[in-house]
Structure 1
Amino acid sequence: MTSLSAPVPPVPAEVRPASVAWLRASVSRFSNGPDHARRRALAVSALAGVDVEALRHKAFEAARRAIGDGGDVMAVVARPVPVAVLAGELGLAVRPPDVVTVAAAYHPHVVPDAAAEAALGRLLAACGGIGEPAAARIGLLVQACDATAGLIGNALMVAFRGPGAAVAETLRSNPPVLRTRRRIGGSDVFVELAGTPFGAGPRECPGARHAIALATGVLQALDGFRLTDPEPAWVPSPNLRMPSALWVTRDRTGGRFC
């Protein structure tokens, strides 16, 4: 058994319905065996009808509107734009801030607060109510939130090579998701994702092409901007690598990213 094919640490199954703990117990991300296969299939099916080129184009248009003449890319573009665009293509009328709030409480080491629980309630209402299909849709949005934001933020640092090249280079040398948890020999361990930023095997990310399309569209919209702080602070996280804020302004000289 390879490290990435090892089971994930289990999460409690006896939890309050419609809670963040319930979401964890109902998505493929924290499941094993038949539960994982069944729940992953729901996510794959939801993504099957999504046109990745439409994602790229709509992410470009939405990012261009959101950034205006400049601002904090992470706050106004990198998180809300991919979430809103993906949700729209999935036919879901959700509020991106609700996804951002739930994403911050998604992992088992985080204790959800009242805001996260309330946000999940609104997401459930928009995604069909309690059940694995709704959990799969919310899981797609939540897992796309910080990971895609990190890809955008990290890629922006090397985007002078061109948006497409920046995404590819970031996935190779500075991926947003650094490691994941697995249970090996009865112990929960971190498994490095070096060389496999979207995972591998039965747990390979089903939305890899979608994430790349969203990130590329956003980076294309930011062409012609420059960083005002080339040394940003980074989010403190054991498994994510992403700037906490990334301020840009339109480059009136006509230059590219810097």
Structure 2
Amino acid sequence: MARFSNGPDHIRRRALALSLLDSVGDLREAAFARTREIVAGFETFDVMAEIARPVPVGTLASALGLPDVSADVALVAAAYHPHVVPGAAAEAALGRLITACGAADELAAARIGLLVQACDATAGLIGNELFAWLSGKAVGQPVLATRRRIGGEDVTVPLAGTPFGAGPRACPGSRHANALATGVLAALRGFRLTAGETTWVSSPNLRMPAVLRVTRG
């Protein structure tokens, strides 16, 4: 992946990810439509489980020419954090993602990387914004730190005040993440928080709801 590369490898792999993102266009309307279709069958539900993760990933996967791989992406994303040791389920999910991409090459890595990195970050963007909107309590940015590889070692980089990073390694999908979040949030108008049922992710690098239940009306 580009983020764990340096020099020419980083430049080439980042350019590949950027070219993929340039091809998908505006994701807002697709995310809006996908969310509206899902919530039509619910009166009360957990936004994080039903919408915040599967909708952005599914929408982006479709735009990248892939089937809905959101369940496998969620398994890989959960094992992607520096404090987690990947298990057999995540390894199997990664294998299925490679198969869905058709090959184990840099193009597949770029597509999978975009989906995995979008999963929790965009879910957090949606969850934090919705919680703030419905409760009146600000939460802040969902991703507190990221990782880079320097001299063969993974290092943690704080993101205080720069939710999408900055410079040559800034998040390439910030515009797309905001479009996905905007579409989802627009489709969730008319819902309210279900009292006492919001819990928060226990993670050193994430600040976002683990469960965010809402009710129609």
TM above 0.5, one fold? Answer: yes
Alignment of 1:135-174 (within 5 A): 135-159=109-133, 174=140
Residue matched to 1:110: 84
Instruction: Give how far 1:198 is off.
Output: 0.4
Instruction: Give how far 1:107 is off.
Output: 3.4
Residue matched to 1:232: 198
Query: C-alpha distance in 2, partners of 1:105/1:34?
Result: 28
Residue identity over aligned pairs, in percent, reads 67
Instruction: Give how far 1:58 is off.
Output: 1.1
* Bigger fraction of residues in strand: 2
Do residues 175 (structure 1) and 141 (structure 2) align?
yes
Residue matched to 1:216: 182
Query: C-alpha distance in 2, partners of 1:242/1:214?
Result: 17
Q: Is the Cα–Cα contact under 8 Å of residues 159 and 219 in structure 1 kept in the other structure?
A: no
Alignment of 1:1-258 (within 5 A): 27-52=1-26, 55-67=27-39, 68-159=42-133, 174-182=140-148, 190-229=156-195, 232-251=198-217
Query: C-alpha distance in 2, partners of 1:190/1:103?
Result: 17
Instruction: Give how far 1:230 is off.
Output: 5.7
| Structure 2 length-normalised TM | 0.90
State the Cα RMSD in Å: 2.4
Q: Per the alignment, do residues 129 and 183 of structure 1 end up closer, same or farther by CA in structure 2, a change over 3 Å counting?
A: closer
Q: Gaps (5+ residues) in structure 2?
A: none
What SS class does the counterpart of residue 228 from structure 1 fall into?
strand
| Structure 1 length-normalised TM | 0.77
Q: Deviations over 1:123-165 (max 9, x none)?
A: 111112111110000000000000000000000012259xxxx
Q: Deviations over 1:61-95 (max 9, x none)?
A: 11122223230000000000000000101111142
Task: Name the count of aligned residue pairs.
Answer: 215
Q: Gaps (5+ residues) in structure 1?
A: 1-26, 252-258
The list of structure 1 runs, each at least 4 consecutive aligned residues, that deviate by more than 4 angstroms after superposition, is 182-189
Tell me the amino acid that sits aligned with residue 111 of structure 2: R
Q: Per the alignment, do residues 185 and 243 of structure 1 end up closer, same or farther by CA in structure 2, a change over 3 Å counting?
A: same
Q: Per the alignment, do residues 230 and 195 of structure 1 end up closer, same or farther by CA in structure 2, a change over 3 Å counting?
A: farther
Q: Deviations over 1:206-231 (max 9, x none)?
A: 10010000001110111000000367
Q: Per the alignment, do residues 186 and 50 of structure 1 end up closer, same or farther by CA in structure 2, a change over 3 Å counting?
A: closer
Q: Is the Cα–Cα contact under 8 Å of residues 147 and 156 in structure 2 kept in the other structure?
A: yes
What SS class does the counterpart of residue 209 from structure 1 fall into?
helix
Q: Per the alignment, do residues 187 and 50 of structure 1 end up closer, same or farther by CA in structure 2, a change over 3 Å counting?
A: closer
Q: Is the Cα–Cα contact under 8 Å of residues 3 and 149 in structure 2 kept in the other structure?
A: no
Rg: which structure is higher? Answer: 1
Query: C-alpha distance in 2, partners of 1:46/1:71?
Result: 33
Query: C-alpha distance in 2, partners of 1:115/1:240?
Result: 22
Tell me the amino acid that sits aligned with residue 69 of structure 1: E
Q: Per the alignment, do residues 230 and 36 of structure 1 end up closer, same or farther by CA in structure 2, a change over 3 Å counting?
A: farther
Query: C-alpha distance in 2, partners of 1:200/1:105?
Result: 25
